[in-house]
Homo-oligomer: A and B are copies of this chain.
Amino acid sequence: MENKDIVITSRIRLARNLKNYKFPIKMNQEEAQNIIKEVNSAINRVNLNYKLIYMHELSNLQKSALIENHLISPALAEKNHTAAFLLSPDKKVSIMLNEEDHVRIQTIDKGMSLKECWNLSDKIDDVIEETVDYAFDHELGYVTSCPTNIGTGMRASVMIHLPALSITNQVEKLLYGVSQIGVAVRGVYGEGTKSLGHLYQISNQGTLGASEETLIEKITQVTDQIVEKEEKTREFLKKKNYDELEDEFYRAYGLLTNARRMTTEEAMRLISLVKLGKDMEMIKAADNIDLYNLMTKIQPSNLSSLMGKELLPNEMDNERAEIIRSEFLK
């Protein structure tokens, strides 16, 4: 229930490599093309309507926007003719080709849906494997370019919204605590541990020596614990600081619906506050808006994409404020 508001998206990523091919870092252009063709054919054989997009077909702006939407990685964006990705019509599945590994199947869905994402990834994985030979070692599992991904080749991650823990300075401690048990926490936007919009990503650090189900179970449990802490902190704040919080939420709303220019940082902070106020049922506002979606939309490259051109920083802040206003007031 409330969990749905705090856990924003779930993601499963599978790293796979093809037998008989060198790892992307060592292979030549012809081999790269062949891999792309092989996987594309495997997917097209079952008519999923996935779209194949090569890196060299995209402008830098388009690439950055895809990164902001978590559909490709920065490492893939740096490549050109040798790399591509397959995108499902609903954008829930993205298969990166010749990034660090030959194949990276990524499935994203809303809320706590790691199991659903795993099931879907597993199916796509099977479809590819019907015509493609994966490099698999019966001792080690799936062979990957980087040893940290060896084994299941799986990374399970959830994106969570932790404004109450952030405001009360509890995130650092949390971050340290879960790193001790092989779970990584990092900010989704912004550099280092400084997270914009109080969004964090929780994921497994190791992929070896445990089944996919066990890894998913672990991330789910850790997430549940963090969500519980966030919820308790929200309850605490609601009891102790109701008036201050309510005021802060409405002020954030007032600025979002009126400002004429706004930086990404400020927008993320204010949208996060309004989301917290909405989730805590403390403000009547923004009822019909997907606030996480808005957070994504106002990132620099998405914003430029939306406007159809590279924007100057100044124009960007103006456009951002306008988009936010029209979203809230529509």
**Interface residues in chain A, defined as those with a beta carbon under 8 Å from any beta carbon in chain B:** 243-244, 246-247, 250-251, 253-261, 314, 318, 321
Contacts and interface: CB of A to CB of B under 8 A. Distances in A.
Given A247-B259, A251-B259, 12 more contacts: A243-B260, A247-B261, A247-B321, A250-B258, A250-B259, A251-B255, A251-B258, A254-B254, A254-B255, A254-B256, A254-B259, A255-B255
Contacts of A261: 243-244, 247
A260 B250 CA distance: 7
Contacts of A259: 247, 250-251, 254
A311 to B, nearest CB: 14
Contacts of A256: 254
Contacts of A250: 258-260
Nearest to A246: B260
A260 B251 CA distance: 8
Contact of A318 (B243, B258, B318): B243
A302 B253 CA distance: 29
Contacts of A314: 243
Contacts of A243: 260-261, 314, 318
5 contacts: A243-B260, A244-B261, A247-B259, A250-B260, A254-B259
